[in-house]
């Protein structure tokens, strides 16, 4: 598999949760060799700094609830730059295959004869689990993980929540800060206990990451309107492990 962008090719690269040392080696090499870089708003300055000085850098936005470049415009830009013979890197926060529209971009470029390669990255749920000391699956408590987005359309959640009713399913809810109350109501309505442990993680994986703990019924209380940064909710019994990890860290610090 190639590690560098080639003429007429577009690499669809996962930038991970923000820290440059959480990039895969392949992703780092792709950024370092990019001739044109189209990057999302959540990509950190630390990662962007890896691009060469001569690289053409274009910020595309793509952050929930904020103005961003239209997907059709991004598609046309990638095509135009690739046809100029440039090594194009489309850099996305997290992993391209987790709510990154990678399928749409691949299909568009393939229809116009442009080769693509996807370079995976660390997604926010995995980064949050590692950073705050909880698993996403756990024997006897969580046998599956479901990745969801929570966006309101016409004031209502456009989602079938039935699959989320299983108490042994860990839910990782992306882009749900503005719909936290509706998410909680929907999940309780399909059978999840109101007392199910829940976490809100802001800027997962980064040095500025913050964690709030609570229960499903009060999911909305975990989101402070003054917070900045992307919010990820983790809902399920495994969320209780973060409190245990925090208590252990406090005990070790006190005994030191």
The residues carrying an active-site annotation are 40, 62
- Residue 62 has phi, psi (to 5 degrees) of 65, 60
The DSSP letter of residue 67 is -
DSSP result, 125-185: HHHHHHHHT--S-BTTTB-EEEEEE--EETTEE----GGG--TTEEEEEES-GGGHHHHHH
- Whole-number Å distance between alpha carbons of 217 and 187: 9
Is the CB of residue 236 less than 8 Å from the CB of residue 215?
Answer: no
- Whole-number Å distance between alpha carbons of 128 and 209: 9
């Amino acid at each position: 598999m190639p590690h560098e962008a080639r003429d007429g090719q577009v690499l669809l690269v996962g930038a991970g949760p923000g820290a440059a040392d959480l990039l895969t080696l392949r992703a780092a090499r792709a950024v370092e060799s990019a001739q044109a870089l189209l990057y999302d708003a959540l990509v950190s300055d630390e990662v962007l700094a890896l691009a060469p000085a001569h690289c053409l850098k274009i910020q595309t936005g793509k952050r929930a609830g904020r103005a961003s470049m239209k997907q059709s415009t991004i598609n046309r830009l990638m095509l135009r730059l690739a046809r100029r013979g440039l090594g194009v890197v489309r850099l996305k926060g997290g992993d391209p295959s987790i709510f990154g529209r990678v399928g749409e971009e691949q299909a568009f470029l393939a229809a116009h004869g442009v080769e693509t390669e996807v370079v995976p990255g660390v997604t926010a749920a995995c980064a949050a689990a590692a950073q705050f000391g909880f698993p996403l699956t756990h024997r006897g408590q969580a046998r599956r993980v479901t990745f969801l987005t929570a966006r309101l359309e016409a004031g209502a959640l456009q989602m079938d929540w039935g699959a989320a009713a299983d108490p042994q399913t860990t839910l990782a809810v992306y882009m749900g800060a503005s719909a936290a109350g509706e998410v909680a109501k929907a999940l309780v309505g399909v059978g999840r206990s109101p007392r199910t442990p829940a976490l809100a993680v802001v800027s997962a994986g980064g040095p500025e990451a913050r964690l709030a703990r609570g229960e499903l019924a009060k999911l909305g209380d975990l989101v402070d309107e003054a917070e900045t940064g992307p919010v990820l909710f983790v809902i399920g019994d495994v969320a209780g492990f973060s409190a245990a990890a925090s208590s252990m860290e406090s005990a070790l610090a006190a005994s030191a």
